[in-house]
Structure 1
Amino acid sequence: MRPKLFPLRIVTALLLAGPLLAGCSSSWLGGSSKDDALKDLKWSYAADGVQIAVRADPQLNRSDGQPHTLALTVIQLADPSAFTPYTKDPAKLAQLLLANSAPTGVLSLQRFFIAPNAQQTLVLPRAENAKYVGLATGYYHLDPPRDTRLYRIGVDVDSSGFLVKNHSAAPAPMKIDLILGADSILDAPDTRPPEVPPTQPKAGVVSSPPAPSDKASSKDGKSDKQDSSSKP
């Protein structure tokens, strides 16, 4: 009876060793790990690698109570720091919106014009070595924090094999949902001072105003002195 149990023991041993073999496949059996795949990742060109679903407000780019067409510039970058100047300096943002070719540090530049109430999908090729997609819009107020967005392109990692695992990594298709509001990209940070809601004044004693600072007092005193000296 023992010889019949021997194959069962072998099967059991193989089943128990399976996870170990799978985990060590990259070094023992010639497979590749997820880390190996990410190290070998190539940021290749893709014909339709970037898709931007655009929804525009009926009052898009509102000025003087009227909607207007909005300029949208899409750039692709390998280094996100190349996009930073356009998110902080209105003059730099204006230069980007008017550029006819990709500036330094930018891999590709494409410009579109979005009409009020438009709903459309823009399909763009992903440039070779592109890891980020930057969006710049030409709203009338030209406020960089509200008018720009930067997106990072993701990576897909696939595996194949049972005991010997082979992993491969490739840039994932980039899909962006872009909602253009009347005055800015939706959910963009607003740099305008917040509106203070009106309040109803109440009758009562008014507390004394704070005492002026020494600097203000000296300034006021100087001013009073000048005023008094000017009198006949």
Structure 2
Amino acid sequence: MKRHLTILIALAVTATSCCMRSSKPEWQYQKNAIVLHMSGDPQLNLYQQKPHSLILCVYHLKDLNGFNQLADQKGGLSALLECSRFDPSVTYSKRLVLQPKQKLEESMDRTEGAKYVGIIAGYYDLRKESSSRSFPIPLSLMNNPKKLRIKLKLGPNEMLEVKD
């Protein structure tokens, strides 16, 4: 009887420990963990009644503070479009170009330490509200980073997230 009780307690402890979240997620490198789906409007980046190509910069970030602070500064959005490591929180940056009517799917490896993805779109009318987006990398029930899919519609003068 005592042996059965000991086994039962051990099984209960094992089962609950498997279901509990670990205290800290491990933000490790993962291949193809971030996928961007982008769709360019026929009137993309409209300027003087004509559509134009659009430059985007995608950042992998450890935190959003530096990204948000730079986006709020005068000339900060233009600086973000340089796709450089403006801050120690940047683990990766990549420049993309989207044409009017183009659909683009970009698969990226998540860099070690990246908890967020920040995107800047170089519209002629460059404003934070319409040109800047950030996305947290989701966590699983086991507190592990999950894959992130971002769907964006890039219109005449703003970037919109498409919800499923």
Distance in 1 (CA, whole Å) between partners of 2:156 and 2:34 is 25
Deviation at 1:42, TM superposition (A): 1.2
More displaced stretch, 59-68 vs 104-113:
104-113
Deviation at 1:70, TM superposition (A): 0.2
In structure 2, stretches of 5+ residues that fail to align are none
- 1:13-37 deviation digits (Å, cap 9, x = unpaired): 98xx97x76653378xxx44423x2
Distance in 1 (CA, whole Å) between partners of 2:63 and 2:11 is 36
TM-score (norm 1): 0.61
What one-letter code is carried by the residue in structure 1 that aligns with 2:53?
Answer: T
User: 2:14 matched to 1:25?
Assistant: yes
From the two aligned structures, give the one with the greater strand fraction: 2
Runs of 4+ in 1 over 4 A off after TM superposition: 20-23
2:98 to 114, 118, 138: 114
1:186 to 134, 143, 160: 160
Deviation at 1:107, TM superposition (A): 1.1
Aligned partner of 2:150 in structure 1 is 176
- 1:143-186 deviation digits (Å, cap 9, x = unpaired): 112100010001123xxxxxxxxxx5421011001111111112
Deviation at 1:87, TM superposition (A): 3.3
What one-letter code is carried by the residue in structure 2 that aligns with 1:34?
Answer: M
In structure 1, stretches of 5+ residues that fail to align are 1-9, 158-167, 188-232
Deviation at 1:139, TM superposition (A): 0.2
Distance in 1 (CA, whole Å) between partners of 2:74 and 2:98 is 21
Aligned partner of 1:63 in structure 2 is 47
1:92 to 68, 76, 79: 76
Q: Secondary structure at the match of 2:140?
A: strand
| Structure with greater Cα Rg | 1
Percent identity, please.
27
2:34 to 33, 50, 57: 50
User: 2:62 matched to 1:103?
Assistant: no
